[in-house]
Structure 1
Amino acid sequence: MLPRPINSSSAGSSSKYRRRNIIRSLSYKFNFDLALLQLFYLTISPRRFYRQLYYHKQTKNRWARDDPTIAVIIAATLAVSGLGWSLSLHLGWRGLLKLLFRMLLVDYVLIGGLISTCFWLFANKFLTQTPTYTTTNSQSIEFRYAVDVHTNGYFVIVLIIYLIQLFLYPLLVKDEWICTLFGNTLYVVALLHYVHVTYLGYAALPSVNNSELILFLASVIIVLYLASLVGFNVSRACLSWYFGRDF
């Protein structure tokens, strides 16, 4: 008996069903509405964001988030800013690819991973306490959570340093003190916001003590900022170093 031929309509419907399942699973994995709302709170009210993180811990029983949408949005923002810088500086296609490689892989992944590791080691070494009744540090911080904290703070740096500076750099690099003041202030606001978000991220953990030690970085940043106002243009120096040309 010959096998019955496959019904093309049923095969097509099954492929559509599989595609629909893939799209549905991706929609569960990537919640862009929630991620955009969280990024909004991280920008204007980080404390509110970390208060909501407590409810995530109660429902998911973990501090690290399982939704990679925020990381994807930041990567997309970096890609857009890279395209903008490439067009503004006439870097060409090869220059664009090199810039995207540097922004996404070097700045975002490699340096971000290094900074996350440093904070993770510092927090587990100096900010957590091992209970006296156990020999293992059950209060240790997840590395994924340290990456989340860095990503949360990095978003405003991306907005200010990578995007806003793109539109203002012709003004910021001028040899005038008011331009130096404005440009240096942009950098210090971005860095202080990063420190603030990082502090709140570790302070939200019940196992963390003395999280105020992180705020020492803010004092260092402010001192360097005040010293730079003597006449050191941070924006011009950073752009000249980053792009390898004089501004």
Structure 2
Amino acid sequence: MLPTVSRGRPPSTYRHNSLFPQYLRRIIKWQQMDIEYTFWQMLHLCTSPKVVYQHTKYHKQTKNQWARDDPAFVVICSFLLAVAASAYCAAYDKGMAHAGFTVISVVVVHFLLIGFLLATCCWFLTNNYLREETSSNSHAVEQHVEWLYAFDVHCNSFFPLFVALYVIQYFLSPLLLAHGFVPVLLSNLLFTVALSYYHYLNFLGYDVLPFLDKTTFFLYPIGFIIILSPFLVLAGFNPTRHVLNFYFG
């Protein structure tokens, strides 16, 4: 008997291919965005991220896709980034043109473009090297990581990093920019925690997928960061000072 496709339900490949255009269309329809749920996710990503990924499992069960179909998280995160970048420009920048360029570059380059690149790398890595091998005699459906889900994982991981390195650092910047050992220590500690937590959330995002194996790979950068941090402190490297000098020096 030849395989058939139900008329009432589109094939999986078509459904996933049509998800991205639908996702983009919803960006301009803010009435369809679940703002309250997005803020709930943002809060729990900072306090109990496993709860967020437990809801990701529910999303898969109800909508048969791992990725969010609501762009509210990206839109709100971009808006908050623009506000934070504007605050830095108001405090440290002297020109309106450069301030505008800085705000745009933070949102478009730091968040979106780098996010696209990181998501693509993780998407390629997980699908080609971390998927569990299925037997040729197995009747299980072969599953793949959706690119949009990889971007979701990046966005989830980025938000606590944003809180640490854009919000908390802003209010602590008078202390962190001072000279001496304590500012260097605190600045490195802040960056170490923020970057380590980013990679930990990356791990949680892929570990929740039942068809992936050896997802502890995503925890390896944390070890490198922790080992490198004391050397940066001893060398007197202040990441806060270097980042702000890069933008406003």
- When normalised by structure 2's length, the TM-score is 0.83
The one of 189, 193, 199 aligned to 2:193: 189
Q: Which amino acid aligns with 1:149?
A: V
Q: In 2, Cα distance between the equivalents of 1:99 and 1:215?
A: 31
The residue that corresponds to 2:240 in the other structure is 235
Q: 1:87 offset after TM fit, Å?
A: 0.7
Deviates more, 1:230-239 or 1:142-151: 230-239
Distance in 2 separating the partners of 1:132 and 1:208: 15
| 2:122 aligned with 1:122 | no
Partner of 1:17: none
1:122 Cα deviation (Å)? 1.5
Kept in 2, the 8 Å contact 1:123–1:141? The answer is yes
SS in structure 2 at match of 1:229: helix
Structure 1 residue 45 displacement after superposition: 0.6
Aligned partners of 1:130 and 1:138 also within 8 Å: no
Amino acid at match of 2:192: V
Deviation track 1:28-70 (CA, whole Å, cap 9, x = no partner) reads x211111100111111111111111111111111100001111
Identity level (%): 33
The residue that corresponds to 2:37 in the other structure is: 34
Following superposition, the deviation at residue 162 of structure 1 comes to 1.5
Q: Is the 8 A contact 2:176 2:240 kept in 1?
A: yes
Whole-angstrom CA distance in 2 between matches of 1:226 and 1:185: 9
Aligned to 2:55, which of 36, 52, 55?
52
Which position in structure 1 is the counterpart of 2:23?
none
Query: Secondary structure, in 3 states, of the residue corresponding to 2:103?
Result: helix
Q: Which residue, out of 60, 65, 69, partners 2:68?
A: 65
Counterparts of 1:153-172 in structure 2, within 5 Å, are 153-172=157-176
Letter in 1 for 2:69: D
The 2-side partners of 1:227 and 1:156 are apart by: 25
1:204-241: per-residue Cα shift (whole Å, max 9, x none)?
00111111111111101111112112022121122222
The answer on 1:143 being equivalent to 2:147 is yes
In terms of Rg, which structure is larger? 1
TM-score scaled to structure 1, two decimals? 0.84
- In 2, the alpha carbon distance for the partners of 1:119 and 1:134 equals 29
Mapping of 1:82-93 within 5 angstroms? 82-93=85-96
Distance 2:244 2:228 in 1: 18
Give the count of matched residue pairs.
219
- Please provide the CA RMSD for this pair: 1.9
Q: What letter is aligned with 1:66?
A: D
Task: Name the amino acid aligned to 1:101.
Answer: I
Deviation at 1:120, TM superposition (A): 1.3
Matched residues in 2 for 1:63 and 1:30: separation? 18
**Which residues in structure 2 correspond to 1:170-185 (within 5 Å)?**
170-185=174-189
Please tell me whether the aligned partners of residues 173 and 240 of structure 2 are also in contact (alpha carbons under 8 angstroms). yes
Paired AA for residue 216 in structure 2:
E
Shift of residue 139 of structure 1? Answer: 2.3
Q: Is the 8 A contact 2:92 2:248 kept in 1?
A: no
